[in-house]
Structure 1
């Protein structure tokens, strides 16, 4: 008889969600400030230079060498984009100005450089840089406050991105290590448009497109069924709807339609804060098997039993 992943009761989902939330809180509270402080220090130096050059940038006749210098590397470009309120992305700035941010291109195209300057000054943060609008030099305390506020904005966003990506990467690696520990073979990843291109039984691959939707890990169980595993990290109950219902549930619908429920198991390994209500929806309505990062032995037991 073909084994099926366990379906959890509402109370079990609540209990596990609480355990995961407690672990999330502990991880956040114990997290060192080192990474934030490192980014803050780096961008403090960058913003100090940018703030001091704002008067040059505002000159009617723009010196393209000034703006090209401010675009010389990734950190400098990011800092430049963070002058606005709210900060904009490099892609947004390129789209709004219809210009490349490459220093060489800016030097050879004064019109592009001017458009970039004009866009940024049009939406420059008036609270961080009040002296620009008032056409005066900044007070020492205004300059210092602008550098601190700007550096904190970037550092916070960098840490936030690192947290999200690092947590997801760690989770994917834990799933892969688990599969390797029970004798599965990791193979080179490739697109899987249909079941014929899936790994062979006892094999798995990392993130790859599967029948029209990307899966974090794709394994073929020893009984021949494909298991599409999503690694999900959430920092709030509200965020968990997007992560687990909209994203994973939406993919499960595609996979079940294209490959068939009898041939594929959609699964999620979760870490962080999740709403039990959202978990109930994705398990019972979307037919997604749920596993927890804090209890991966459940996943191990299921995979081993699927023979």
Structure 2
């Protein structure tokens, strides 16, 4: 009979959740130069934008200066003039243009005017009050606008970096651990049946298992497939989205699609998770492991030999 994955008690889940949260706090408070790097990069962009657009003096912004700004890759800074900042997709749809790529807009004056027309309508009056009056900013207004805009863009960039780095770091940690157990990484491919995909002591990353993508899929010693979702959460609320509304939903699908005797859906977790969310995900057939204690994952894998 195939080894069953562990099912943790409420006390065990609570202990691991606390350990993961403690590690998350340590990592977030660790000394890093990321904020300084992102702020300075954002500041340079806005200073360059202000220079090209005459300190955002409406009377001096023209097609040529806008085209030059987009050609220099300052489209992101332009989007962040809006209050709140407007996304690439929203700007393209609202402006009704085919593309807002810098190379396209710098050569298409009609599309360029439509795009900037949208930005002008949603310009942030708190950061750029002089634009409503149609004049140039005072030195104090200019500095305040540069500071606020740079902080706004830097904050968004570091938030995105943390999300991406957290997931990528989690996946890297899992893959490195599997290699330490003697598993070999193979190229990803669509897995439609149990015969396809990695073979015993192999794994692949970012591959389709049925109609759902898995972060990592490995073949256990007893030939069952084990799809692993790598989830990092920064809050109890966020954990519901990442764990219950994503990983657990995939677990239910994989079990229904391939059968409970053929597939062992799992998640490797890091960060902040609500114990109730963990219990609910586990009850739906998702096996839970933690990035701070991968030995438990290894113990289960070895038990399938």
Do the two structures share a fold, i.e. TM-score over 0.5? yes
TM-score (norm 2): 0.94
In the TM superposition, what whole-angstrom CA distance separates every residue of 1:154-186 from its partner, at most 9, and x where no partner exists? 111111111111121111111111111111111
Kept after mapping to 1: 8 A contact 2:251/2:265: yes
| Unaligned ranges ≥5, structure 2 | none
CA RMSD, 1 decimal: 1.7
| Unaligned ranges ≥5, structure 1 | none
Residue range with higher mean Cα deviation, 149-158 or 231-240: 149-158
CA 1:57–1:110: 2 relative to 1, 3 Å: farther
CA 1:191–1:73: 2 relative to 1, 3 Å: farther
Kept after mapping to 2: 8 A contact 1:231/1:268: yes
Of residues 290, 297, 304 in structure 2, which corresponds to 1:299? Answer: 297
3-state SS of 2:94 partner: helix
C-alpha distance in structure 2 between counterparts of 1:46 and 1:292, whole Å: 40
C-alpha distance in structure 2 between counterparts of 1:10 and 1:277, whole Å: 9
C-alpha distance in structure 2 between counterparts of 1:58 and 1:103, whole Å: 21
C-alpha distance in structure 1 between counterparts of 2:37 and 2:149, whole Å: 14
Tell whether 2:20 aligns with 1:29.
no
Kept after mapping to 1: 8 A contact 2:270/2:292: yes
Shift, 1:104, TM fit: 4.0
Kept after mapping to 1: 8 A contact 2:71/2:106: no
Kept after mapping to 1: 8 A contact 2:188/2:197: no
Identify the residue that residue 200 of structure 1 maps to in structure 2.
Answer: 199
Identify the residue that residue 149 of structure 1 maps to in structure 2.
Answer: 148
Kept after mapping to 2: 8 A contact 1:268/1:290: yes
Identify the residue that residue 87 of structure 1 maps to in structure 2.
Answer: 85
C-alpha distance in structure 2 between counterparts of 1:171 and 1:105, whole Å: 37
Kept after mapping to 1: 8 A contact 2:188/2:205: yes
Tell whether 2:27 aligns with 1:10.
no
CA 1:168–1:56: 2 relative to 1, 3 Å: closer
CA 1:198–1:103: 2 relative to 1, 3 Å: closer
Identify the residue that residue 279 of structure 1 maps to in structure 2.
Answer: 278
3-state SS of 2:264 partner: strand
C-alpha distance in structure 1 between counterparts of 2:72 and 2:210, whole Å: 38
Identify the residue that residue 119 of structure 1 maps to in structure 2.
Answer: 118
3-state SS of 1:126 partner: coil
Spell out the pairing of 1:1-307 with structure 2 (5 A cutoff).
Answer: 1-32=1-32, 34-52=33-51, 53=53, 58-59=58-59, 63-72=62-71, 74=73, 76-99=74-97, 100-284=99-283, 286-307=284-305
C-alpha distance in structure 1 between counterparts of 2:252 and 2:54, whole Å: 52
